[in-house]
Amino acid sequence: MTLRTDVSGGFSVRVWTAGSGSPLLYLHGLEGHPGDAPFLKRLAERHRVFAPELPGYGESSGFELIDGILGMALHHRQLVTSWGVGALDVIGHSLGGMLAAEFAAINPQLTRRLVLVDAYGLWMDDPQVPDPFVLNETELKAKKWAHPEAAGIEPSIFVADPANPGAAALQRSKNLSVATKFMWPIPDRGLRGRLGYVEAPTLVVHGTEDRLMPVAYADEFARLIPDAKVARIDDAGHLPMVECEDAFMEAVEGFLAG
């Protein structure tokens, strides 16, 4: 696997790549890129995985060129086109799920199968999505994980530097500031009206214990996307691919092989 930097149209983004086989785009979630995550490596056993960092996150730049959700979808189209791999499978988690759904709606010709994992992008008055930006560390842990003690195993692309103890907080603030463009004050940028344009067969994966993004939203995504089914991952929170890796892999690979 390699971590390279792709430059296109004013953007410079880090792309984690590994594996061979059918191409797969993975878009990371609200908090940041998972780096060398075990679940990404397992996906790379059967796929050629491309996991770009979102512009503005970590060390990737070009966020100022993004004018809203359409700009993000077009940025990802440009990236995918530059790889020359044709249509691919698309997996998006959390904020990345919202962006993956937009990508699939706008670029049906590039989307083979779509997997949304605990995705943002919809709003219901009941149950409402909690505001992720007001949570302190303890509250976030409690909402994010089925078992908060699992928090220690979360993979990240960020490498701590003992000489710069403030770097982690700065990095986190930078990442989340980009997310506010799409998720503040309500994580709804009109996706509901565009899900009908998704042509790819879709799997909506959701941790049953996700208290950041209530599981009822999985059913709502599945209702709005023409060809979609739901895979609930029991005993998992907002990151089922971390907390219940085997169940996640089984559901996703089963679907992608279908």
What minimum distance in Å lies between the beta carbon of 252 and another protein? 30
Nearer to another protein, 174 or 232 (CB): 174
Nearer to another protein, 7 or 184 (CB): 184
DSSP strand pairing (47-52 vs 111-117): unpaired
DSSP state of 51: E
**Residues of the shown chain interacting with another protein in the complex, contacts defined by CB under 8 A:** 67, 133-136, 166, 170, 172-181, 184-186
Nearer to another protein, 13 or 252 (CB): 13
Nearer to another protein, 10 or 133 (CB): 133
**Beta-bridge partners for 12:** 7, 61
Q: Alpha helices of the chain — where are they, by DSSP H?
A: 38-43, 68-83, 95-106, 137-144, 167-183, 216-224, 240-243, 245-257
What minimum distance in Å lies between the beta carbon of 10 and another protein? 17
Query: Rounded CA gap, 215 and 123, in Å?
Result: 12
What minimum distance in Å lies between the beta carbon of 131 and another protein? 8
What minimum distance in Å lies between the beta carbon of 225 and another protein? 26
Nearer to another protein, 26 or 158 (CB): 158
Nearer to another protein, 115 or 179 (CB): 179
Q: Is 57 left (phi over 0), alpha (psi -120 to 50) or beta?
A: beta
Question: Is the CB of residue 101 less than 8 Å from the CB of residue 27?
Answer: no
DSSP state of 32: B
Query: Rounded CA gap, 214 and 109, in Å?
Result: 31
Sheet holding 47-52, edge to edge: 2-8, 11-18, 47-52, 22-27, 88-93, 111-117, 202-207, 228-233
What minimum distance in Å lies between the beta carbon of 181 and another protein? 5
What minimum distance in Å lies between the beta carbon of 130 and another protein? 12
